[in-house]
Amino acid sequence: MNPSTTTPPLTGPGGPSSTSLWRHRDFRRYLTGQTAGVAGSSISSMAIPVLAVLELDATPGQVAWLAFWGQLPPALLALHAGALADRHSKRRQMITGDLVSATALATVPAAAALDALTLAQLMVVAAVQGAAGVVHDAAAISLLPTLVDRSLIQRSNSRIGSLFAIAATGGSNLGAALTALLGPARALLGDVGSYLLSAWCTARIQARETTPTRTGRRRLRTEIAEGLRYVRDDHRLRVLTWVNATTSLALAALNTLWALYLLVPA
């Protein structure tokens, strides 16, 4: 990016709160890309279990393994992804995650068209998507404070949460429609497109990133340990971490079971 064209964090003549977030181009680009990614992920959440059960005759155990491989990378790599986002360009990390996810997911309809799709490939794709997704998400969370003034963070998160909820619902409905019209494999092309849109929107963000100055090269493990101690010592962060972990566990179990109850004949 050309430094002369970068956009500073959003502020207004009467203070940061006097300016509408929707008038800030970088925030709109960020929000558009992330919302597209949420909608696309909802398409995959709808189409992949249908593909596994109806097209590949997956058993309950195989569906559970498919969900497991999708959830394992976030559990193992979340702390590392956050530390990497502190060290390197957040936009580059987000774009890389989007492009890796798009490439991995595009292999599914390609293999299905050649009648070569297997459950093993779906599991590999799920693992790659999970790893790329956690890398992207860790950078996306830490990028937002560089786009808007600190006083606008709460308003920004409120709008992001609202649009994400709408996008998740709309993506599920769109995934069901695409699955019915095109089949579950080709429906995944909708998610591929969402990743490409997310990468394009992120690439167009012009705000300059600030990377903390480091006096020496510290090991990644050291930074992760410091982050864990910080969360442990802060009551609010500790509670939020347990709530999010419990919610993620429940959603993972739900996503595994719904396909079996809805798709497998009694």
> Which comes out higher in pLDDT, residue 133 or 67?
133
Provide the pLDDT for residue 7: 41
Residue 4 inside a domain? The answer is no
For residue 27 the two structure tokens come to 């925030």
6 lies in some domain: no
Identify which has the larger pLDDT, 39 or 85. Answer: 39
CA distances to 18, 41, 171, 224 from 153, rounded to whole Å, are 14, 25, 26, 24
Q: Which two tokens stand for residue 203?
A: 């690439």
Give a yes or no: residue 7 inside a domain.
no
Whether 119 maps to a domain, the answer reads yes
Q: Judge whether 112 lies within some domain.
A: yes
Instruction: Report which residue type is found at 108.
Output: V
Q: Are the C-beta atoms of 211 and 87 separated by less than 8 Å?
A: yes
Question: Which amino acid type is present at position 209?
Answer: E
Q: Would residue 156 count as lying in a domain? A: yes
Q: Which two tokens stand for residue 239?
A: 């509670």
Does residue 176 belong to any structural domain of this protein? yes
Query: For 112-160, what is each residue's pLDDT tens digit?
Result: 999 999 999 999 999 999 999 989 988 888 888 888 777 777 888 888 8
Residue 118 belongs to what domain range? 23-210+219-263
Point out the least confidently predicted range of 19-28, 40-49, 73-82, 213-222: 213-222
What CATH number does the domain containing 107 carry?
1.20.1250.20
Specify if 140 maps to a domain. Answer: yes
User: Could you give the number of structural domains in the chain?
Assistant: 1
Average pLDDT in the 10-39 region?
72
Mean per-residue pLDDT of the chain: 80
CB-based contact 235:241 (threshold 8 Å): no
- Averaged pLDDT for residues 1-30: 56
Answer yes or no: is pLDDT of 203 > 70.
yes
In the prediction, which pLDDT does 1 show? 42
